[in-house]
Amino acid sequence: MTILIPAALRNTCSGDPELGCWLEQVPQLVDELCERWQLNIHAPFDNGEGSCAWVAPAGRHDGSQAVLKLGMPHMEGEHEIQGLRFWNGAGAAYLFEADEARGALLIERCLPGTILRHRPEAEQDLVIAGLLRRLWRTPPAPHPFRPLATMTAMWADETLQKEAIWPDTGLVRAGLDLFNELPRTAHHNVLLVTDLHAGNVLRATREPWLMIDPKPFVGDPAYDTTQHLLNCEQRMLNDPHATIKRFAELLDLDTRRVGQWMFARAAAESYDDWNTNQIELAHLLRRYAD
């Protein structure tokens, strides 16, 4: 069986020897999993929505439809399998099978699979808020999930290494201060999706909308608003405070705390370059850091 590799995934893995080695193993791994889980595999998805995994529709031996996913090794997605097990289909795609050592998942196929991004942003707000309210639960100890501070500390380290290209030293340092402070001052901690945006929510049959591609960490629920809001770039630039207030109120969260997380990400998240819109947004949100 010939296994196609989407160009976006190939580009992500290029220039990194470890990822290149992983990518070379994908065809053999797909063959092995198809035999073990009795799958009929189809061409991988190549819609531009993801570039960190090999993902393809599959038919199961009982005639049901599924999706085979081989996650590229990366720090943020390390506990996707455990997260999907924890949510167990409640607001998230259901996990049928998994191989933790290989980062392989067989998950429920969402049909028709329409991406929430195709809907108006006001509707996106409602759907994502509804999902987050269901997904935010505290996992019982012991659990494998890392604290959110682990991820923000990694981002801070990466940003500090790029100090020579910071566009505004005061702005970036204020964001770094919040990356350090906010995880420590949360009133309560829940299992976060951390990458919940309209591209990772699909129309489904079992439920109207289901979340896919979580990157679970335990931490402040206010953080989990940020990926969706950052994806609403023009609305954030046009009226950031009203946009933050609306979404925070849908989730019964403190508007200022959501604003602080948004400022921290806009100002201090690690980027290869700080683009104009990002810096403009950080300046617009600067008051939340005071």
- Give the residue numbers marked as catalytic: 195
Q: Please name every residue paired with 209 in a beta bridge, in sequence order, or none if there are none.
A: 203
Give dist(CA 179, CA 18) in Å, integer: 29
Place of tokens 């529709």: 57
3-state helix, strand, coil in the chain (%, to 5): 50, 15, 35
- Give Cα 150 to chain centroid, integer Å: 15
Determine how many CB atoms are found less than 10 A away from the CB of residue 112: 8
The packing angle between helices 255-268 and 276-284, to 10°, is 150
Give dist(CA 57, CA 141) in Å, integer: 35
What is the layout of strands, in order, in the sheet containing 104-108? 40-41, 53-59, 65-71, 104-108, 95-99
Q: Is 91 left (phi over 0), alpha (psi -120 to 50) or beta?
A: left
**Distances 275 to 62, 165, 233 between C-alpha atoms, Å:** 49, 11, 12
Give dist(CA 144, CA 140) in Å, integer: 10
> For the CA atoms of 231, 83, 249, 260, what is the dihedral angle to 10 degrees?
-60
